[in-house]
Chain A
Amino acid sequence: MKLKSEQALELDESHVTVGQSFCDDPKMTMRNVDVFYSDKQAIYDVNIDIAKNEVIAMIGPSGCGKSTFLRTLNRMNDTVEGCRVDGQICMDGQDLYSPKLDVVELRARVGMVFQKPNPFPKSIRDNVTYGPKIHGLADTRVDLDEILEKSLRKAGLWEEVKDRLDQPGTGLSGGQQQRLCIARAIAVSPEVILMDEPCSALDPIATAKIEELIKELSQNFTIAIVTHSMQQAARVSHRTAYFHLGKLIEVNPTEQVFTMPKHQLTEAYITGRFG
């Protein structure tokens, strides 16, 4: 992952993002993106690249637009009535908001894990094979079982559930449910995984497991993660983006953001002066 020329250092109040927003070999690119909920603007003029196999963390005070930003990447905002996205968002050079694009296919390529674990009220097996069945990824039962085992192993859940695959997924513990949701998301082999505060409902041990998992997944996937825990951002991500009131303030390598933030707002947030 190579980062392009550094941005200007001045603390520009006209919200030019500080730091290394762009890169050479981007998986996803966003240019001049604005998001509106009816009349209310939630995201202002965001420009950023997400590199291949990168883990990028989004931090910022509550209500600053992190979830909104994340949901523009797989067009989950389509489900919100009155939500409008302006600007250009591309994946592998393909415009995600062009009328020709198949949303269903896009969401198969960009998976998502939600803040609250939301397994379907079905068996563990059916939860994981839900996507592969819909997209016809397996021709035989054997193939399906293979996907099932692989996904559960990758999510670090296989050993815990291999004897109870036909029991309901809703009967698992919170941390197990979240890992089941991750397994479900990776079962369709997406290219990008979006995670919106995946650990906020979990205890430290389950959180550690999921962080471990994110590090492993980053070998194969591009991951964008929203988190309220700066330690978590520091532990798992390569780059960190700081949002403030709908504006992307600063993007820099994680280490740099937490040791030498360039923007005063970032610094204020990191040092705990607000947020």
Chain B
Amino acid sequence: MQATHLLSLLIVLGSFSFYVSRGRSLALANPLGGIRNLHSLPSYYGLHAALWCTLPATFLLAIWLIFDEIVINAMVMTDLSPELIPSGNASYNLILNKVANIANGILPRESQPSGLLDAADNMLSLNVVSQWSITLLIITLAMFGLAWSSHKLKPDFRARPAVERVMQNLLLACACVAIFTTLGIVFSVLFESIQFFRSVPIYDFVFGLEWSPQTAIREDQVGSSGSFGAIPLFVGTLLVSAVAMFIAVPIGLMSAIYLAEYADSKVRTYAKPALEVLAGIPTVVYGFFAALTVAPFLRDLGASVGLTISSESALAAGGVMGIMIIPFISSLADDVITAVPQSMRDGSLAMGATQSETIRKVVIPAALPGIVGGIMLAISRAIGETMIVVMAAGMAAKLTANPLESVTTVTVQIVTLLTGDQEFDSPKTLAAFALGLMLFTVTLLLNIFALHIVKKYREQYE
């Protein structure tokens, strides 16, 4: 049976267990004089049975799904006839693919070597065995669960705390899935990066001043051996982010102050969602807005005052990114400013301070840690932003601090390295992972720092 069928079967079995056990507990309660004589409500007995029936079986099913193919493939390959034994990693995968395709009927069986045909048959029969055994196993396990729960079902069985414990573990398991996925991503990026650092020394990568990832594809090509210095990319990223923050921080902060302190409730109800619409615009829309509207406008403006602004500039990309980040900062800042207790403002106003003095001297200092935390989060957002810079910042890895020139960023380079036809283990492709790792580290550090500050702020008022 297929996994989806098995899952539906488990759901049916689970509901069945629920109703049966609930009914049994009711039947037990009747002669005693009502459900108040049971330790828990009948539905808890039902839930207990349903959980015991389905959870272990689901868990087994998940494990089977993960390992089924791997185990079968390994078995097929070890049983392969001797003349087909692969020599390297690449040909191993090739042969495996062929076998699977023959087994699934994608490749015609005619004109294939008999060794491959045998392997394909072997694979098919193994598949059948595996599916039957898992079906049997799961049904048995579900029945065992149900039996175990029925065995425990007595009027004084503490089903409610038992269900509580199971629930707690279930939630924990879900949290673990999220954590392990993150870890998985981090490690895969880490391993690819390590592979990259085998061909390019880590020192040259982190501190190198030149970035031109075009390596020779064939041995006989001349010239391009590629250089992987990440500094120009990080400088470009920083430049664009700095321009973005230069725009987003003052505007975001001031609109937050206006909304939180001055706007009456009517203005607030309309202005706040209106501002947050900015956050809902897809970044690709910002991207072409930056590339097609803002950048030419800036170039023409520059030309009219005698400045050369390149048509793909850090200024255009950063400026539009800043607009995008405004709602991010303003809504975070608005939250922390409104979280400053009214009694602080009253205290200051009652001393004869004006409203702006109160804001400057009491409200903002009290909210400052939270505001700084919000800005940090916004910075990591800006650093990781991709679409706008891909469309508006340019590709040339120039080492410059001039926002009027075109720069490229880490994210842009990752995109260009990984789009199009790639050889998977060339340093050029692996460089993307190394860049990703560095980007990840930087934003992670920023986020940790920001969360730390925000937390410190929370402690102050609670």
Chain A residues engaging chain B, CB cutoff 8 angstroms: 74, 76, 79, 81, 104-109, 111-112, 114, 116, 118-122, 130-131, 134-135, 170, 181, 184-185, 188
Give the CA-CA distance A104 to B350 in the complex, in Å. Answer: 8
State the Cβ distance, B15 to closest chain A Cβ, in Å: 54
Give the CA-CA distance A89 to B460 in the complex, in Å. Answer: 39
Write 19 A-B pairs (CB below 8 A) sorted by A numbering.
A76-B346, A79-B345, A79-B346, A81-B264, A107-B349, A108-B352, A111-B350, A112-B350, A118-B343, A118-B346, A121-B344, A121-B365, A122-B365, A130-B353, A131-B351, A134-B353, A134-B361, A185-B350, A185-B351
Chain A neighbourhood of B346, CB < 8 A: 76, 79, 112, 114, 118
Give the CA-CA distance A231 to B265 in the complex, in Å. Answer: 42
State the Cβ distance, A192 to closest chain B Cβ, in Å: 12
Decide: A118 near B341, CB < 8 A? Known: A76-B349, A79-B346. Answer: yes
Nearest chain A residue, comparing its CB with the CB of B354: A104
For window 342-383 of B, CB contacts with A under 8 Å fall at 343-354, 357, 361-362, 365-366
Decide: A104 near B264, CB < 8 A? Known: A118-B343, A120-B362, A120-B366. Answer: no
**CB distance B344 to A118 under 8 Å?**
yes
Give the CA-CA distance A271 to B341 in the complex, in Å. Answer: 37
Chain B residues engaging chain A, CB cutoff 8 angstroms: 264-265, 341, 343-354, 357, 361-362, 365-366, 460
Nearest chain B residue, comparing its CB with the CB of A118: B343
A-B contact count (CB 8 A): 67
Chain A neighbourhood of B343, CB < 8 A: 114, 116, 118
Chain A neighbourhood of B460, CB < 8 A: 121, 170
Give the CA-CA distance A118 to B460 in the complex, in Å. Answer: 13
Chain A neighbourhood of B349, CB < 8 A: 76, 79, 107
Give the CA-CA distance A181 to B1 in the complex, in Å. Answer: 75
Decide: A104 near B348, CB < 8 A? Known: A130-B361, A134-B357. Answer: no
State the Cβ distance, A260 to closest chain B Cβ, in Å: 36
Chain B neighbourhood of A135, CB < 8 A: 352
Chain B neighbourhood of A181, CB < 8 A: 347
Chain A neighbourhood of B341, CB < 8 A: 118
Candidate in A105, A130, A135, A185 with the most chain B CB atoms within 10 angstroms: A130
Candidate in B347, B352, B365 with the most chain A CB atoms within 10 angstroms: B352
**CB distance B352 to A107 under 8 Å?**
yes
**CB distance A104 to B362 under 8 Å?**
no
Decide: A188 near B351, CB < 8 A? Known: A118-B344, A120-B344, A121-B365. Answer: yes
State the Cβ distance, A20 to closest chain B Cβ, in Å: 29
Chain A neighbourhood of B365, CB < 8 A: 121-122
Extra inter-chain contacts (8) besides given A108-B352, A114-B346, A121-B365, CB under 8 Å = A74-B350, A76-B346, A76-B350, A105-B352, A109-B352, A111-B351, A114-B343, A134-B357
State the Cβ distance, A194 to closest chain B Cβ, in Å: 8
**CB distance A130 to B354 under 8 Å?**
no
Nearest chain A residue, comparing its CB with the CB of B357: A134
Give the CA-CA distance A77 to B60 in the complex, in Å. Answer: 66
